[in-house]
Structures are given as C-alpha cells and as structure tokens.
C-alpha cells in the first residue's frame, strides 16, 4: 500500500508571511546593537555608512534570497539545483551558520529568568541586601555621584572600589560567573530549566510547519512593537530623556575616516536584515508563486531600518534619565550587548515608579524579539532536511519526530552554556560561529551564483514573471557588481582589522580558545569550496563541459545537452582505454 506524501505547505494568508518576516529581521540587533553602534561611531553620522551598505548590500541580498525561495519553492540547499548547482555547497555553509546560531537561545534563557525575578518586590537587583552581594556593592538607584565624592564614574566603571547592585545580580546571582573559560564550574539549575522552557516554546511554535508558525507570529511579531511603543513613550517622558537623545544622534563627522565605523555599519546591516542565514529563502519558499515578493521585500527592509532608528530613541531616552538621576555622564551607563540589555536597562526600570511593570514589559519584549528569529532559523534547518529527503520526511509525523530529536540534541549540547563559565562559551560562539566574515563570504557566493551563474537579467525575468513587475535595473547591477565587490572588500578587511575577542571582564581568552574559535568560523564556510571541488571532480567529461553542467539549473536545456555530451565522451574515453580527467 503506497503512503501519500504531504505536499509542500504555503502560507494560509499573505499577512502571516509579512509578520513572520518582520519577526525574523527585527530582533535584538535592532533594539540594542544599532543604538550602541550609533553613539559609538559618530552619532547621526553613522547613518551615512549604514544607509550606504543597506542600499548596496542589505536590500539587494534581501530581495535576492526572497526571490530564490519563492521561485524555486525549495529549502536552503535544494533551491540551488534550480539556480546554480555548483553553489549548492553554499546551502550547507548556511546550515552550518544556523547550527551555531542556535546558541542565541541562551539570551532568551537569561531574559526568561530575569522575567521570573520581575515579580519580586523589591526587584532583587535594585538593592544590596541579598546573599550574593559583597561589601563593594552600591545601590546606584538611591545614590548619586555627589554621595560618592564626585567619583561615581570611576568607581562604578572600573570595578576596583565599588560595584553596582545590578552588576552583582547579573554576575554573581544570575550567572554565578567563573574566573574564565577554563573553569566551567557547576550547572546553574535555574538557567537549565529556563533553557528547557525556551526550547519547548521554539518546538511548539513550528512543530506543525507554517500551519502553526503562521498563527504564532500574530502574537510574537506584533506584541514586541506594542512593548517598544510603550517603552518609547515612557522613556521620552522621563527627566533627562532629551540629553540621552542628543547623545545618541549628535554627529561627529570625523569618524567617517575610521575604517572600523564602516565595518560596524556593514556587519549591522547584514545581521539586522537577516541575510546569508537561509531564513529569507525558507520564508519565501512558502509563498505562492504569484506573490509580489519585490514590493514585500522593499517594505520589510524599510520597516527593519526604521525600527532600529526608533528603538534608539527608546533606549537612549532611558539612559539619559539614568544619567540625569545619578548625576553622571551617559557614557558611564552605556555598554554593548548583554551589558546594555541585562545591566543598564534593568537598573533604569528600578528607578521608575512601578518597576515590576516596566521590567516585565521589557523582558517580555526581549524574549519575543529573540523567539521570532530563533524559531525561524529552526524552521530553516527543518524545511531544508524535509526538502532534501521528501519521500522519507513528508510522511505523517516524520517532521514532528525529527524536530523533537533535533531540539533535544541541541538542548543537550547547550548544557555547558548554562554552567558558571557558560557565558564565555557563548561569547566564543557568538563571535566566531556566525561572524561577519562568514556572512560576507556567503553573501559574496550567493551574488556570484545568482548574478553570474544564473544571470542577473534572468533573475529579473523570473521576478517579472512572478510579480508582474520588473525590478529596477539597479538591483541587477548590485547582484553582478556592487554587492559582491563590497562583500569581497569587507571580507578582506575583517582580517586586516585587529578585533581580538575579550571576555566580559576585559581579559583575553587563552590561545586554545582562539584556535577553537577560528575552527568554528572555518567549519561553517568551508563546505562551499569543498562542494565545488568535489562536484567538478565527480562530474564526467571535459572540464569546460563540467562547468557548464554545474553552472546551469538541472532543468536547463543547455545543461542537459552538456551533460549528455559529457557522458558520451566519458564512455568513448573508457572504451578507448584512456583515463578520464580527475
């Protein structure tokens, strides 16, 4: 008895795709990384390199990946058989990056535990009257610089004399952080249970495919915007808010001559737009063939950038309030990444009336922002496996069982990340696993494969056939020239700039950790060149014909003729007793 295979799913409604895509691209990088980079790299002047890379790299790559997904109706690996078979290794590299990106669920784990503590009165990080506090602890919500002899900035930031109650909660209670990566210490059971809860949330968000994902995003994609608006309005009404906004956008034109500013802008665009991660291809592949992906992509890119800009006002108005309340300069309360999300803002809400309410709103927003991106990446991996093995995976309950085992394996492998030294492991994977260099390399290969192998004009023809609207010629030029050239230049600059990873305490990692980091970085991108070499060697026929076969889609008539010629010549060579090439 033959078992009927399930057909590939499509979004039930167009708005489900829009919400899922918005949730995927609008994440933690928009809310925290963009504002931090903006004030660090010249304020309003940072918008110049940001817009430059957004127009020449971000938007063209976003559109290209969405078009590839919708045109091929395939996952991250199998889609390349219909575009450029030689580039199929790019799909394997993307999956490698996605596997390392599962580490970002640790951020949700921290946020979930903070959310649980939000229901305490008073907030546990607002005072020094706790078992984990030391004699260096200072309750910065009730003192100012004058109370500490005008040396609040030095004492708080240096850590030699005093330590804020928020910092001690983060380091000594939540993480119980060890001395370094060589000392992982014991498992933090509270974090372990939160990690399990986050994986369960991811699993049940996508376990039935787009049938469940399309419904989940109505909440997970919309609610963070509601929270962001609430926090923005609240932040702008606080005393000292205008001081924070000015500090956020005050232009410093001299920073435009700094190469690192341009590299930061490039990495921010690629991260926030979600390109080179396979998620855009996957989400686009669930669209109906005639969906206007061209217009959708432009609107979603605009939404992404505008969200980053608006989030900066919410963040820095709150930081301006902190500086005003404590009588210290803003740079003393600003930090990047986890420091901004888990130290600066929790301290800010502790100073407000109804601190439990504002803290809960903030961490709910943080969890939902990260959850959207995480379960979209998980869907990318799952759909890729299903498309690679359709006869096995499109049978009833096969997808759900595979996803369950995959989530369980990821959970087990991430247990070291919730130990006392787990934060160092997270930093290592975050810095090298999905690094800017890896994403730039993947973006470069995608442009070469689609813009030159498949053909930029031919790609525009496919867009016109699907949407009834031909994309601007500017995008063809980007796919062939501008985007791959900029990606190549920035990829080289990643190795020129000396940006050595340091731990959260400022100390450098041991040499073996850097070696492990580079092994992680190379392991994700090496699949693409290995695939090309192997396919060239295994394909029969003269070298020129092999390239023609591998550059053309599988259903292309020219590729079929070349393949036939290659097979015939290989048979003739074997019959004559000559050794075939390779």
Predicted confidence (pLDDT) per residue in 77-126, tens digit: 999 999 998 899 999 999 999 999 999 999 999 999 999 999 988 899 98
Summarize the confidence of residues 250-276 as an average pLDDT.
Answer: 90
Domain boundaries, the chain: 14-121+178-534, 539-575
The token duo for 580 is: 């075939």
Element (H, E) at 527: helix 527-538
Q: The whole model's pTM is what?
A: 0.88
Residue 137 in this model has a pLDDT that exceeds 90: no
pLDDT in tens, 437-456: 889 999 999 999 999 999 99
Please check whether residue 5 is in contact with residue 395, taking contact to mean a CB–CB distance below 8 angstroms.
yes
Task: Please tell me the distance from the alpha carbon of residue 369 to that of residue 223, in angstroms, as a whole number.
Answer: 9
Element (H, E) at 559: helix 557-575
Please report, rounded to a whole number, the percentage of residues in the chain having pLDDT higher than 70. Answer: 87
Summarize the confidence of residues 294-316 as an average pLDDT.
Answer: 92
Give the residue from 398, 411, 417, 407 showing the smallest Cα distance to 378. 407
The backbone torsions φ and ψ at residue 163, rounded to the nearest 5 degrees and listed phi first, read -140, 135
Question: What would the CATH number be for the domain defined by 14-121+178-534?
Answer: 1.20.1740.10
70-74, 279-283, 503-507, 526-530, range with the lowest pLDDT: 503-507
Summarize the confidence of residues 561-573 as an average pLDDT.
Answer: 46
- Read off the pLDDT band of 557 (50, 70, 90): low
- Read off the pLDDT band of 148 (50, 70, 90): very low
Please check whether residue 81 is in contact with residue 170, taking contact to mean a CB–CB distance below 8 angstroms.
no
Distances (CA, A) of 433 to 102, 104, 296, 366, 375: 10, 11, 30, 22, 18
pLDDT in tens, 459-489: 999 999 999 999 999 999 999 999 999 999 9
Q: What is the pLDDT of residue 140?
A: 63
* 281 compared with 546, residue with greater pLDDT: 281
- What lies within 8 Å, CB to CB, of 472 at 6+ separation is none
Q: What is the pLDDT of residue 159?
A: 40
Residue 31 in this model has a pLDDT that exceeds 60: yes
Residue 179 in this model has a pLDDT that exceeds 80: yes
Helix locations, 420-504, DSSP H: 422-432, 436-447, 456-467, 473-477, 483-496
* 2 compared with 178, residue with greater pLDDT: 178
Q: What share of the chain is helix, strand, coil (3-state, %, to 5)?
A: 75, 0, 25
């Amino acid at each position: 008895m033959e078992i009927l295979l399930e057909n590939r799913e499509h979004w039930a409604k167009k708005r489900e795709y829009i919400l899922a895509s918005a949730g995927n691209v609008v994440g933690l990088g928009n809310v925290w990384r963009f504002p931090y980079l903006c004030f660090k790299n010249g304020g309003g002047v940072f918008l110049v390199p940001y817009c430059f890379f957004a127009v020449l790299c971000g938007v063209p790559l976003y559109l290209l990946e969405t078009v590839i997904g919708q045109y091929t109706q395939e996952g991250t690996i199998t889609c390349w058989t219909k575009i450029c078979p030689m580039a199929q290794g790019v799909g394997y590299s993307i999956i490698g990056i996605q596997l390392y990106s599962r580490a970002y669920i640790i951020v949700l784990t921290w946020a979930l535990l903070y959310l649980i503590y939000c229901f305490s009165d008073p907030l546990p990080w607002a005072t020094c009257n706790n078992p984990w506090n030391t004699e260096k602890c200072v309750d910065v919500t009730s003192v100012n610089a004058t109370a500490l002899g005008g040396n609040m900035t030095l004492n708080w930031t240096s850590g030699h004399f005093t330590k804020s109650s928020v910092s001690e909660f983060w380091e000594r209670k939540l993480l119980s952080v060890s001395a370094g990566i060589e000392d992982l210490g014991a498992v933090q059971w509270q974090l372990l249970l939160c990690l399990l809860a986050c994986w369960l949330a991811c699993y049940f968000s996508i376990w039935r495919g787009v049938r469940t994902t399309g419904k989940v995003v109505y909440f997970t994609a919309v609610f963070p915007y509601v929270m962001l608006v609430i926090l923005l309005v609240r932040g702008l009404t606080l005393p000292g808010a205008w001081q924070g906004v000015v500090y956020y956008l005050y232009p410093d034109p001299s920073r435009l001559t700094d190469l690192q500013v341009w590299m930061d802008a490039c990495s921010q665009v690629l991260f926030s737009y979600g390109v080179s991660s396979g998620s855009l291809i996957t989400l686009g592949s669930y669209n109906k063939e005639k969906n206007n992906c061209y217009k959708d992509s432009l609107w979603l890119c605009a939404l992404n950038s505008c969200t980053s800009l608006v989030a900066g006002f919410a963040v820095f108005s709150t930081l301006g309030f902190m500086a005003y309340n404590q009588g210290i300069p803003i740079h003393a309360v600003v930090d990047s990444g986890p420091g901004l999300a888990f130290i600066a803002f929790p301290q800010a809400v502790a100073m407000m009336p109804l601190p439990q309410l504002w803290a809960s709103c903030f961490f709910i927003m943080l969890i939902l922002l990260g959850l959207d991106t995480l379960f979209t990446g998980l869907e990318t991996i799952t759909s890729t496996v299903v498309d690679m093995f359709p006869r096995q995976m499109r049978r009833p309950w096969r997808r759900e069982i595979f996803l369950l085992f995959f989530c369980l394996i990821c959970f087990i492998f991430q247990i070291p990340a919730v130990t006392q030294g787990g934060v160092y492991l997270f930093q290592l994977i975050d810095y090298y696993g999905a690094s800017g260099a890896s994403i730039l390399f993947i973006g470069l290969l995608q442009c070469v494969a689609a813009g030159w192998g498949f053909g930029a004009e031919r790609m525009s023809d496919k867009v016109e056939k699907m949407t009834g609207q031909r994309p601007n010629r500017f995008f063809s030029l980007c796919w062939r020239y501008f985007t791959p050239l900029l990606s190549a230049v920035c990829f080289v600059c990643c190795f020129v700039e000396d940006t050595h990873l340091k731990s959260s305490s400022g100390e450098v990692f041991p040499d073996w950790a850097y070696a492990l980091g580079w092994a992680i970085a190379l392991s994700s991108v090496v699949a693409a060149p290995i695939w090309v070499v192997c396919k060239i060697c295994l394909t029969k026929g003269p070298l020129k014909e092999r390239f023609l076969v591998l550059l053309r889609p599988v259903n292309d008539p020219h590729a079929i003729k070349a393949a036939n010629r290659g097979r015939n010549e290989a048979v003739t060579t074997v019959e004559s007793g000559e050794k075939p090439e390779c």
